[in-house]
Amino acid sequence: MFTGIIEGLAQVVSVGKAKKKGADTVMRIKLGSKMARGLKKGDSVCINGACLTVAALSKDTAQFEMVAETVRRTSLGSVRPGDKVNVERSMKVGDRLEGHFVLGHVDGTATILEKQEGPTETKMWFQLDDANDLAQALVEKGSVAVDGISLTVVDVDGPKFSVSLIPHTLAITSLGIKGKGDKVNIETDVLSKYVAKRNAQ
């Protein structure tokens, strides 16, 4: 489980087809000494909002294996060497919960429609790529994880929604370097999912 409080950006070293049966893609990420400290094989790490397992570790570079469902459901299938990704280690029992409960189970993707930079805030608008179920779980002032970042929903307009970003979030996450047309991973709030499903029955 995660909180949506990103620890930092890390660079993708390589992406390729998995040689082992049971996996589709292998991705290597240079985490850096700080985020790799204490990490071991089998640990869970949230990469752009998707919970992945460390399959191998060499100094500060971790290798992750992804099944076909992860590649299909998330934007990680389009990640290339040199790209920067958001990283969050799994939370420990007793840690402060400063964002919201993020499971690392990506519901789908969205496309960035607009980045409105004003004197007092930066607002970013997104269009859900598959709005059938996701839109029902988005509510104004509710929580959403965008590329693993815990954010508060500002506006909801059908399949479109917006969030406001503070300078700190723009400085340490991928949303500071992404723009119009880029894809992001979306995980709606776990409580909203259950409410939306109950109301649909």
pLDDT score recorded for residue 141: 93
Q: H-type helices in the chain, by residue range?
A: 33-36, 68-73, 131-134, 167-172, 190-200
Q: Let me know whether 83 and 130 are in one domain.
A: no
Least confident of 9-18, 26-35, 96-105: 96-105
Domains of the chain: total? 2
pLDDT score recorded for residue 136: 86
The residue out of 89, 123, 143 marking a domain boundary is 89
pLDDT for residue 135 is more than 70? yes
pLDDT score recorded for residue 196: 65
Which residues in the chain belong to E strands, given as ranges?
8-17, 25-30, 44-47, 50-58, 61-66, 84-89, 108-117, 122-128, 143-146, 149-157, 160-165, 183-188
pLDDT for residue 60 is more than 90? yes
pLDDT score recorded for residue 201: 63
Q: Which residue has the higher pLDDT, 45 or 195?
A: 45
CATH of the domain at 123: 2.40.30.20
The pLDDT tens digits for 162-185 are 999 999 999 999 999 999 999 999
Q: Identify the domain containing residue 75 by its residue range.
A: 8-89
pLDDT score recorded for residue 132: 67
Q: Let me know whether 113 and 73 are in one domain.
A: no
Domain annotation covers residue 170: yes
pLDDT score recorded for residue 108: 93
Task: Please report, as a single letter, which amino acid is at residue 65.
Answer: E
